[in-house]
Amino acid sequence: MHTDQTVPGSHATPPLPRFLIAVLPVVAVAVAGSLVTQPNIPTWYAGLAKPGFSPPNWLFAPVWTMLYAMMAYALWRILSLPRSTPGRTGAIVIFFVQLALNSAWSFAFFGAQSPLLGLVVIAALIVAILSTIAAFWKLDRVAALLFVPYLAWVCFATLLNGAIWQLNG
């Protein structure tokens, strides 16, 4: 007879792999986004007409740093659950889908210099964030709530993206 300690999949992801899985992909997305965004801010982005509610450029880095940290911590919490927890694997997959879409937005909007393509990606990102919140809510409400500021910021970014597209299209 097996105890819970010996049943395969009953343990949480061990601390070091948990840290690496939670933090490294988020950092990679942040760095990749920054690498494609930064060169375009003083050039292409500076030349765009922007709505009056557009925040100053300096605000984006601290806000995204905080949001990325919250995302990584939320995933850390989910990875802390036993592997056999129903819904855990699906929630992790959904997390990585939203993270990929987060990265894709930077490449669409700044890399391709396309506010329209950015709007398409960010609409999918909102759906993925909502799906992540729903999946996390069933497992760990704190992890789900950590995504609420991110959802709010992305909704604001969607309005900004849409206004930029409208003003420049």
| Dihedral sign from CA coordinates of 19, 22, 24, 30 | negative
Q: Is residue 44 part of a domain?
A: no
Alpha helices in 51-87 (DSSP H): 57-79
Q: Is residue 95 part of a domain?
A: yes
Q: Is residue 80 part of a domain?
A: yes
How many domains in the chain? 1
Q: pLDDT, tens digit, for every residue of 89-107?
A: 999 999 999 999 999 999 9
Q: Is residue 124 part of a domain?
A: yes
For residue 117, pLDDT beyond 90: yes
| Mean pLDDT rounded to a whole number for the chain | 94
Is the pTM for the entire model greater than 0.95?
no
Q: Is residue 93 part of a domain?
A: yes
Q: Is residue 54 part of a domain?
A: no
Structural domain that includes position 65: 15-38+60-168
Question: In this structure, what CATH number is given to the domain that contains residue 28?
Answer: 1.20.1260.100
For residue 2, pLDDT beyond 60: no
Percent of the chain with pLDDT over 70: 94
Q: pLDDT, tens digit, for every residue of 147-163?
A: 999 999 999 999 999 99
